[in-house]
Amino acid sequence: MRWTEAHIPTLRDAPADAEAISHKLLVRGGFIRQLSAGSYSMLPLGQRVRLKVIDIVRKEIDAIGGQEMILPTLHPAEIWERSGRDGLMGENLFRLQDRKDGDLVLGMTEEEIFGMLASELSSYRDLPQIWYQIHTKFRDEPRPKSGLLRVREFTMKDSYTLDIDSSGLDAGFVKHHEAYKRIFKRLGMSAVDVQASSGAMGGTESIEFIQRSDAGEDWIVTCDKCDYRANLEKATSALEPLDDGEPADLERFATPGLRTIKALAEAHPDIAGAEKSIKTLVYFADDEPVLALLRGDHDLQEQKLLDATAASEARPAKVEEIRELLGADPGSLGGVGVEGMTVLVDLALEGRHNLATGANEDDWHYKGVNIARDMTVTAYVDLREVKNGESCSVDGGTLEMWKGIEVGHIFKLGTMYSEEFGAYVQDPDGSSHPIIMGSYGIGIERGMAAIVEASHDENGIVWPLSVAPYEVLITVVRSDDSETLAAAERLYDGLRSLGVDTLIDDRVERPGVKFADAELIGIPFRVTVGPRGVESGMFELTVRDGMHKEELALESAAISMKSKLDEALEIISG
């Protein structure tokens, strides 16, 4: 492609509202343009990258037996109501009505529709299956931001495994896990797999693939000694055992004006230090009141509360709601004597005694609390948010927290959707079983942004060769010089004849402008052709990653470049 014929609208300045590096560089480099909040047009350079990302994803999923389909994005709302995810997704679903007042939604994901298609299968002989699509999805994102990282319209590869038993699901899960590792390596990412919450998807085991980046919104916890990795929503840590002494009797004591754990600990350090106190939080999980009890110096991780209650949403109770439920204001709350409510106790409190907690009467607390003796506990669950620097529960190493971008997510769904939509098959003995499903997603445009976040410098994007819009850029220093232009054209024709994806900058423009644009758009290899090089029979090759330079003989430049490209691609492919 000739730059003079291409649409590459580079900009000197980034949009005023752009915060993420990828947002700034993809707009400045002429890859994308915003139509509205969370909605972007792919310009020619952006589309070339997008298609190369899709091609890598498609080839790897095909390689594990994937069969590609395309499903509708416009869904009857009743399908989502049947699965229960109409309420679970809440305002994130785009909802509309047709001319006959039929309720419709724009799909965020397609578990329901694939479950319906799976209902046509009847025998174990039809399994296993791997079905997938690469298709547009919609999400009514409340806070679109960071360019392609948080949008309302996006392309996703969503694939699904269908199996007769859990061992088949395990095999399909492993296939996708390995395929995802190959995909992200080929995309030039250093994404790692981490334990995660299944959230609104449901199911059991869940693994996210995370690219480390300050632009990310996920906090990841890793160990400095072992390979433990988990999303903060799922992470656990080891705690030092505490000596509670001998069990004591439950006793009320006056605490006038003491409304915080800190104030209580300062006033009664012998009996109510933070680690000896119970923090009592009141939440509504899908409109049902829940007491969440943690150690006084610990914080609640809300996703863990959602997972423990299987609720679609949870919110802190308001002061007036708390008083109606428990008879006291925050700061004097506790679980002693509470009946008829769900009481979830964090694992760090299991077996503890001689603790302090609110008495559900303003200005009064209990001491000598023995949780097992004095409370009606619904369940002991992990509710606590891990902190940076705590000890790893696997080997005692130190846990580190860092931010990252979720670029892929794989789930073991189980039978949730097959049971609802009648996807049953008969086993060899003639017994009927619901199909066991797995779900596996990769966001295409988000992947593009994550690549840029991981691969750039102060001058622009540094595209990995595998997804770069072009592999080689020929920069003609003097397009108005006939000999220079002719030499550049010969190299251009030679590279194209060898199948090299080549862009030639044949604009009549100052060299400084051309070099700046070249670095901004990030083509992996740049060959500079100028009058001096033509006279000496040498071209200058610049490798964008690191800006390393070397010289190429004019007559063999095309073949030399092809050899370098093949070698680089072989390294990426592993």
CATH of the domain at 502: 3.40.50.800
Q: Which long-range contacts (CB under 8 A, 24 or more apart) does 477-482 make?
A: 477/511, 477/514, 477/528, 477/529, 477/530, 477/531, 478/530, 478/531, 479/506, 479/507, 479/508, 479/509, 480/508, 481/531
197 vs 30, residue with greater confidence? 30
238 is a domain residue: no
CB 264 within 8 A of CB 358: no
Structural domain containing residue 265? 251-381
377 vs 552, residue with greater confidence? 377
pTM metric for this prediction: 0.90
The mean pLDDT of 184-200, rounded to a whole number, is 87
Find the CATH number of the domain harbouring 356. Answer: 3.90.960.10
* Same-domain status, 260 and 185: no
27 is a domain residue: no
* Same-domain status, 114 and 187: yes
Both ends of the chain: CA-CA distance in Å? 29
- For residue 571, the model assigns a pLDDT of 76
* Same-domain status, 205 and 69: yes
* Same-domain status, 126 and 207: yes
* Same-domain status, 125 and 261: no
The mean pLDDT of 44-56, rounded to a whole number, is 98
16 is a domain residue: no
DSSP code of residue 390: P
The model's pLDDT over 4-15, given as tens digits with 9 standing for 90+, comes to 999 999 999 998
Distances (CA, A) of 538 to 268, 276, 532: 82, 76, 8
The model's pLDDT over 76-97, given as tens digits with 9 standing for 90+, comes to 999 999 998 888 888 899 999 9
Give 199's pLDDT tier (boundaries 50, 70, 90).
Answer: low
* Same-domain status, 82 and 135: yes
* Same-domain status, 163 and 289: no
Buried b (16+ CB within 10 A) or exposed e, 45-63: bbebbbebbbebbbebbee
The model's pLDDT over 247-257, given as tens digits with 9 standing for 90+, comes to 999 999 999 99
Give 555's pLDDT tier (boundaries 50, 70, 90).
Answer: confident
Averaged pLDDT score across all residues of the chain: 94
The mean pLDDT of 372-392, rounded to a whole number, is 96
Rounded Cα–Cα distance for residues 176 and 378 (Å): 37
Rounded Cα–Cα distance for residues 161 and 61 (Å): 11
549 is a domain residue: yes
Joined tokens for residue 33: 């343009």
- For residue 115, the model assigns a pLDDT of 95
Give 198's pLDDT tier (boundaries 50, 70, 90).
Answer: low
Phi, psi of 281 (to 5 degrees): -115, 140
- For residue 203, the model assigns a pLDDT of 56
Give 160's pLDDT tier (boundaries 50, 70, 90).
Answer: very high
Quick check: 524 pLDDT over 70?
Answer: yes
Phi, psi of 320 (to 5 degrees): -65, -35
- Residue where a domain terminates, one of 349, 381, 413: 381
Cis bond before residue 72 (omega within 30° of 0): no
Rounded Cα–Cα distance for residues 277 and 357 (Å): 6
Find the CATH number of the domain harbouring 160. Answer: 3.30.930.10
The mean pLDDT of 114-118, rounded to a whole number, is 96
Rounded Cα–Cα distance for residues 172 and 181 (Å): 14
The model's pLDDT over 215-231, given as tens digits with 9 standing for 90+, comes to 998 999 999 999 999 99
36 is a domain residue: no
The mean pLDDT of 4-30, rounded to a whole number, is 95
The model's pLDDT over 457-478, given as tens digits with 9 standing for 90+, comes to 999 999 999 999 999 999 999 9
291 is a domain residue: yes
Sign of CA dihedral 34, 40, 44, 46: positive
- For residue 567, the model assigns a pLDDT of 86
38 is a domain residue: no
Listed residue (492, 510, 511, 509) closest to 501, CA to CA = 492
* Same-domain status, 447 and 487: no
* Same-domain status, 157 and 264: no
* Same-domain status, 485 and 512: yes
Number of separate domains in the chain: 3
The mean pLDDT of 339-358, rounded to a whole number, is 96
- For residue 334, the model assigns a pLDDT of 96
Give 312's pLDDT tier (boundaries 50, 70, 90).
Answer: confident
Give 327's pLDDT tier (boundaries 50, 70, 90).
Answer: very high
* Same-domain status, 101 and 212: yes
* φ/ψ bin of 371: left (φ > 0), alpha (ψ from -120 to 50), beta (otherwise): alpha
Rounded Cα–Cα distance for residues 22 and 89 (Å): 28
CB 469 within 8 A of CB 448: no
The model's pLDDT over 364-373, given as tens digits with 9 standing for 90+, comes to 999 999 999 9
Q: ∠ CA(334), CA(339), CA(340), 5° rounding?
A: 120
Secondary structure (DSSP) of 226-285 = S--EEETTT---B-------S----EEEE-TT--SHHHHHHH-TTT--GGGBEEEEEEEE
* Same-domain status, 373 and 437: no
The mean pLDDT of 483-507, rounded to a whole number, is 95
- For residue 489, the model assigns a pLDDT of 94
Longest alpha-carbon distance in the chain: 98
Give 196's pLDDT tier (boundaries 50, 70, 90).
Answer: confident
The mean pLDDT of 417-432, rounded to a whole number, is 95
- For residue 574, the model assigns a pLDDT of 64
Give 200's pLDDT tier (boundaries 50, 70, 90).
Answer: low
CB 574 within 8 A of CB 182: yes
CB 561 within 8 A of CB 495: yes
26 is a domain residue: no
